[in-house]
Structures are given as structure tokens and as C-alpha cells.
Structure 1
Amino acid sequence: MSAAPKLDAATEETPAADASLERIRRLVRVADGILSSMRQIADERQRETSGRRYKLTEVSEMLDKSVDAIRRAEAAGLLPQPEFRPSGQRLGYTLAEVNRMRDHFGRRPWRAADDEPVLLAVQNFKGGVGKSTIAVHAAQHLAERGYRVLIVDADSQASTTTLFGFNPDRDIEVEDTLLPYLIGDRADGLGYAARATHWDGLDLIPANLGLYSAEYIISQQVKGNVALLSRMKTGLREVARNYDVVVIDPPPALGMISLSVLQAANAILIPTPPSSIDFASTAAYLSMLEEVVETLVETLRLPVAYSFVSLLATKITPAKGAHEAMREVMGHCFGRDILPTALLDSAEFDTASVEMRTVYEHDGATTKTHKRCRNNLAAVMGDLETQIRRTWPSYRAALRAEGIA
């Protein structure tokens, strides 16, 4: 029997390659379809709820003003009249309305004009530590408190952008991301990329997969001019003049964008879960951070200064003794360099993300699980807010005047 004729490499591989590519294309189409459905559900629920509304008693606490004072201001025409349900009950106040009240009563927590805006990088080089979740919830917490906030998605995976209800590769053009500015195609600042979100006082610079090309382009450009690593610093510090806090979500790896973020930031928050493996990764990140900052400052002569570098224990399950033990060790060893409150693990984060929302937006306020998660978030973000405010000389002076500092 004669041997079967041999096919050349091109003949053998082409059908398999074509089939593999088609499988991948089909998976892409299915994934895009799921994301579109999730986005549609999120949009419908956003329209139904018109965003969160705050009860009068909640607003009273947020403003530190009595209910009667708010009612008197409304009755005198100093504040817009509240909306009412058909039943005669107050509909509640939007965040924009709450902020108008803050303006009227002088209750904005803004930095003084000569205080430096805080550019906070939420960073760890290990994925899965809750980096984007923490960045978005921090930004929304601060916006709810009345600060002017910009959140910058510097990660081509675009998780932060997705949590604001966008399908990054359908809704966001690469020209609307950091990319054009970082590679030098635009020299007019980063204002072009900042867009308003459905949170009053909170703007977003979005990302999509195209941002990843910045890694290659910048690496080629800086070979001839290391100072180009300062582009992000220049752009963010200029746009930050319009905000109190800029929250930056960088990639979970050391590349050109992460290096740019480390130079641009003036504060760092490092999320770390309580397992020994995750903590080892955090220790490696800290060691690498030391080496990178040393290189930026001493070798490349690029100035870097952080008002604080703090750790945050994340994904803690109280029922797990090992988690509690690790958190106790971290607290004892790091002292003031770790936030006092740990972020507890909660199914609420996953439940909300399915709807492209955050815990702050998810309508689950009646459940005990949701309330526990919200209370824990309030404590964690309250710790972070205190860290941020203590960087401002005007705040420290106010504390001293009250005999607190």
C-alpha cells in the first residue's frame, strides 16, 4: 500500500487556523452580546430609579443641618421646592440637589485654593485584589460627600469604565482615553478626556483595550528622552486644579503606564487580601516600589513625592480565623500605614457588578447583607477620606484651631 501524500505546512495549518480564529470570533460576539444586555439592563434600571434619592433625615446628617433648617430654607424660597409622590410623601433628593444645599449652607468639604489636589493611585501589581472596585467606590464615596472628584481609568482592561455602565470597546473611542495625550498626539492637556458621569461632581477619564498600545509606543519614545515619562504627571496635575481628589486606577503590572502613574500620583493606596500568598505579592510590590522610586528620583532625576502610602486589608472574611490573624499581624506591624478598618468580603460587590453598578447604586438597602456592606464601606472610606483631608494645610489648621490636632 502506498503511503498517503504528505500535505505541506500551509495546507495542514490553514484549515485549523481558520477554524480557531472563527471560534475566537464567535466567543467575542457572544461576550459582546452579554455585555450589551448587561448595559441595557443597567440603563433601564437607571431610568427607573433616576439615581439614588436621599431622605430628608439623611440629607440633614450629610449637611450637619437640622431638618427644620432645611425646611425653612425651602419655605423661604432659598432652596428649590422638593418633589412629592402622589401620596404626599417627599420623593427624596438627588445628589445634585444635596450639593445645591451644601452650596447654600456652606457645607462643601472642598480643599482651599492653595491646597494641593490629592492624586491617589490605587495600586498593586497583583490582579484580583479589588483594585478597581476600591477605586470606584472611593470616588463615589467622595462625590457623595460633596468633593469634586475625577477618576482616571489607566488600565486597558477598563474595569473602572465598565463599572460606570460603559461597554469600553463599543462606547469609548481610543481618542477619548489617555492614549493621545500620553503618546504626544495631543498637547492641549487632558481636559478633552474628562467626561461627566451620572454622579454629580464625579468625572471620568475612560479606558478601552486600545490604551494598551501606549505601553509599546511610550517605551520606544522614552529611549531618547526619559522626561517623556512625565507626560501623565503634567497632564493630570494640570487637570486636577478643577478637582479636590483624582483617583487613578492603573494596570496591575509594572509597565510604562504604571511608571507614569507612580510619578504622577502624590498618594498611594495598596489593597492587599489577607492570604499569605497575596501578602507575599504585596511585599514584592513594596520592594519593587522602593526600587522604582529610587530609580526615578536618583537615576532619572524625575521628582516623586507621596503625602501618604497606605495599605488597605481587603476581602476579609470575619468567620475565617486565618484572615483575622493576618489582619491583626498587619495592623500591629504597619501601624498608621494601614487603614484602621479592613474591607470585608461581600457578595454585594458581585451582585452589583452584574448590573454594571456599585454597592452604592445597587438597590438592596432592605437586606442585612447590603446594610453590613454599606456600613463597612462607610467606615473604610471614612478612614481614607481622613487620610486625604490631612494632606491639606487648611484642614490641619482647622483641626488645630479646634484643639483637635
Structure 2
Amino acid sequence: MEYGNNTLLREETPSEKISRYSQLLSGQLHRLRQELYPPEAHKLLRSFSSVDVARLIGVSESTIRQLDLDGEGPTPTRLANGRRSYTLQQINAIREVLAARKKGDEAVNILPRRRDGEKLQVIACANFKGGSAKTTTSTHLAHYLALRGYRVLAIDLDPQASLSAMFGVQPEFDVEPNCTLFGALRYDDGRRTLGDVIRPTYFDNLDLVPANLELAEFEHIVPTAIASGASTGENIFFRRIRNVLNEVDDRYDVVVIDCPPQLGFLTLGALFASTGLLITLHPQMLDLASCNQFLGMSSDLMAVIENNGGEMNLDWMRFLVTRHNPNDSPQTRVVGLLRALFGEDVLTSPALESTAVANAGLEKKSLYELEPGAIGRETLKRALESMDSVNREIEDLLRSSWGRAL
């Protein structure tokens, strides 16, 4: 009970208190973002040395230097120490130059975009339980593929918008109404094309469909659409995401979808649209039990979809062990159990637990965004080796789906 000016003030209701805390936290997050990314609050991707460029493209550093000396390709920035510095956009321009000199597989390895007859790859990153590193996995996979030269669309399907935040997008300030995937999925006259809600990011050839709380509306409108007859045939809810992706099929090689941590209409739509399913799993018994529930419910609901004319077209499904500590004996036993049960459907490489990932996350960055020297060199090196191994396996699955030699 509070008093002011001799007037008895009523106590806050729980909803008012929660609203006040929400506004306080939202304002503080906005101020922190302004401090991290002044003056326009936009993230920028770091530049890359000629050594980095050679490693990303898969050629020798001397090849990169010679291009510059010959005046071919983009002109790099010269640093004070005389070394060359390249943006990702310049790296992709170099890929174009080098690929034009090659034929067949050599050209494809340098510029790995889809060729005629190769279908769009759609990867859904999903699990029933929060805390399984879905967003961390989705972010690093999207960044890795963009750095490798693919054209990538990242879709944040979680109303909590963690993936959007990793791209420097604060949902309550930066995402206007009807500017999430919901805008392209809705059944009324407010529906927009997918192209209208896609926005470029600070990564060349990596675009984003951001999220905010309005995505949760899809879970409410689907039952109404079913009852009214609007959700039938090609417009049925589980075909909705696949159909809107067809609108931009020619613009991308890979779509990465960060699914919400529940098995609702949005997640089912993402699973139906996917060519690859990545199930993240923290190796603890409670997480294992939750994953079992996710698999059981997914199986039942997919069977219902299949019985109603929906055809699932998954090229692959893999379990990814996340936040793994190989020195933790109980975790090691859980990983062994998973491999015994699911065999090659468990990715060979786990995503190791690392302070580097945690520290990068505090700045809303992936490991690929960190400047050399931002954290301990060996710590960053081990974390990057682990993340690269995971993403390289997934890239191999994509290439295999396209029928390319590994």
C-alpha cells in the first residue's frame, strides 16, 4: 500500500506489474542495443583478411593476392600494416571471378549455388523443449552457409524472436505489424507476399524474415479458417509455409527455419515445407525424455497430415547433440545411447559447450562475427572448429540432396 499527497494509492494488479516490468526491460534492451551498435543501431559484419578469404573460398592465399595485383575482382581495403581487408560482398565477387575460370565441379565448389534442376533446400531446426540451442544452431548455420557462398533466407518462426535479436532486430521496436511470416500466412485481406516481409541483413546474400509476438496469432486463426472452409486444399494450414516459399524459390539456395519450442500449427507447417529436419538435443536425461515426447507427437500429427493428402518430402533428418561437455560422464552416456539407437541419424560432430559461444551470445553475435582477439585465441579456435564440423556435415547433406559429389 502506498501513500502520496495524503491520497491512498491502490496496489498494482499483477497484470499492471508485469506490464511495468516489460516496459522497463524493453527500454533497457533498447538502450543497450544503442550502445552496442551506435549511432543507427545497425549491426555490421567484420572484414576478412586474405588468409580468411582463401580459407572460405578454398583456394591459396597467393591466388587472392594475385587477383588484386592483376586488377581483377574487387579492390580490397589496405590496412595500416599493408595487409588486405575484404568485405563478404567482395569475397562473393571474387567467387564469381574464380568460378568463371573453372568448369564442372571445380566451379561449383568455388561458387556453390543451386544449379538447374536442384531444388530449394529448407532446413527446419526444431525441438519440443526450450534451451536445446535451436536459435544458436540456426544462427550459426545461416552465417556459415552465407560465408560459404550460398544464398540464404533465415526465417524466425518463434514469437519470442531470439533469432531476430541475433541479427540485431529488436521485435518491439524494429518489426512493424504484419511484417513477420504471419503477414504472408494469414487468410484475410491483410495477407502480404513473402517478398514483402523479407529484409536484407548485414551479411551479403543472407536475408531475414523477422519475428514478434504476432506470429502467435497463426495458432488462433487456423481453427477459424478450418471451420470457415478457408483452410482447405492448397490453402490448408500445413501447406501454407511451403506455398509462400515457392514465391521466392529462385532467390535462394537454402532456407533455415528456427521453429518455436512447441508443436503447433507453425511448426507443423515448417516440417511439411522442409527438405531437412535438424533436431537439437542437449544430452541430459530430462531433455531426452522431452525429445521422446516431441518425436511421438510429431509422428502422430504427421500421420494425420499424410492421411489427409499431405506428402512429406524429407531428404534427411538428423539429431544434433548441443552444448556437449565430453568430460561429463552422464552426458557421454546419453550421447552413446543416442548413437546406439539412431546410428548415422545422429550427426558425427557434436556442438561442444564453450564459453566462446556464451560470450558471443552476450553481444548477440555468432562465433563467425567475432573479431580475432575478441576472446582467448585457443578458446575461439576450439569453438569454431566444433561449429565448423557440425555445419560442414549439414552442408554435405545439402550437397548430397542435390546429387553432388562430396
C-alpha separation between the residues in 1 aligned to 2:138 and 2:303? 26
CA, structure 1 residues 266+59, in 2 after alignment: closer, same or farther (shift >3 Å)?
A: same
The 8 Å contact of residues 156 and 211 in structure 2, kept in 1 or not, is answered as yes
CA, structure 1 residues 72+370, in 2 after alignment: closer, same or farther (shift >3 Å)?
A: closer
**Corresponding position of 2:256:** 247
* Long gaps (5+) in structure 1: 1-13
**Corresponding position of 1:212:** 216
Letter in 1 for 2:171: P
Larger radius of gyration: 1
| Residue identity (%) | 31
The 8 Å contact of residues 237 and 264 in structure 1, kept in 2 or not, is answered as no
Letter in 1 for 2:82: G
C-alpha separation between the residues in 2 aligned to 1:269 and 1:330? 15
The 8 Å contact of residues 38 and 355 in structure 1, kept in 2 or not, is answered as no
CA, structure 1 residues 79+182, in 2 after alignment: closer, same or farther (shift >3 Å)?
A: same
Return the match for 2:29 from 18, 27, 35: 35
Secondary structure in 2 aligned to 1:175? coil
C-alpha separation between the residues in 2 aligned to 1:81 and 1:236? 36
Letter in 1 for 2:390: V
Secondary structure in 2 aligned to 1:269? strand
Matched, 1:51 2:45: yes
**Corresponding position of 1:199:** 203
Q: Where do 1:94-243 residues align within 5 Å? A: 94-106=87-99, 107-184=110-187, 185=189, 189-223=193-227, 224=229, 225-227=231-233, 228-229=236-237, 230-243=239-252
**Corresponding position of 1:67:** 61
C-alpha separation between the residues in 2 aligned to 1:362 and 1:59? 16
1:46 Cα offset (Å): 10
The 8 Å contact of residues 178 and 211 in structure 1, kept in 2 or not, is answered as yes
CA, structure 1 residues 166+26, in 2 after alignment: closer, same or farther (shift >3 Å)?
A: same
CA, structure 1 residues 355+46, in 2 after alignment: closer, same or farther (shift >3 Å)?
A: farther
Q: Which moved more, 1:284-293 or 1:66-75?
A: 66-75
Moved beyond 6 Å, runs of 4+: 45-49
**Corresponding position of 1:257:** 266
CA, structure 1 residues 354+145, in 2 after alignment: closer, same or farther (shift >3 Å)?
A: same
TM-score, length-scaled by structure 2: 0.88
1:383 Cα offset (Å): 0.9
The 8 Å contact of residues 148 and 243 in structure 1, kept in 2 or not, is answered as yes
Matched, 1:77 2:62: no
Matched, 1:356 2:350: no
Matched, 1:336 2:336: no
C-alpha separation between the residues in 1 aligned to 2:191 and 2:211? 19
The 8 Å contact of residues 34 and 41 in structure 2, kept in 1 or not, is answered as no
**Corresponding position of 2:106:** none
Q: Where do 1:275-286 residues align within 5 Å? A: 275-286=284-295
Letter in 2 for 1:41: E
Secondary structure in 2 aligned to 1:222? helix
C-alpha separation between the residues in 1 aligned to 2:319 and 2:40? 34
The 8 Å contact of residues 110 and 147 in structure 1, kept in 2 or not, is answered as yes
Secondary structure in 2 aligned to 1:246? strand
C-alpha separation between the residues in 1 aligned to 2:355 and 2:365? 13
Letter in 2 for 1:29: Q
CA, structure 1 residues 131+49, in 2 after alignment: closer, same or farther (shift >3 Å)?
A: closer
CA, structure 1 residues 60+124, in 2 after alignment: closer, same or farther (shift >3 Å)?
A: same
C-alpha separation between the residues in 1 aligned to 2:312 and 2:123? 13
C-alpha separation between the residues in 2 aligned to 1:27 and 1:48? 26
Aligned residues: 380
Secondary structure in 2 aligned to 1:340? coil
C-alpha separation between the residues in 2 aligned to 1:211 and 1:48? 24
Letter in 2 for 1:302: G
The 8 Å contact of residues 39 and 166 in structure 1, kept in 2 or not, is answered as no
Letter in 2 for 1:251: P
1:308 Cα offset (Å): 0.6
C-alpha separation between the residues in 2 aligned to 1:309 and 1:65? 32
TM-score, length-scaled by structure 1: 0.88
The 8 Å contact of residues 182 and 218 in structure 1, kept in 2 or not, is answered as no
CA, structure 1 residues 138+46, in 2 after alignment: closer, same or farther (shift >3 Å)?
A: farther
**Corresponding position of 1:3:** none
1:316 Cα offset (Å): 0.8
The 8 Å contact of residues 43 and 167 in structure 2, kept in 1 or not, is answered as no
1:45 Cα offset (Å): 10
Aligned residues: CA RMSD: 2.1
The 8 Å contact of residues 118 and 245 in structure 1, kept in 2 or not, is answered as yes
Q: Where do 1:286-365 residues align within 5 Å? A: 286-298=295-307, 300-363=308-371, 364=374
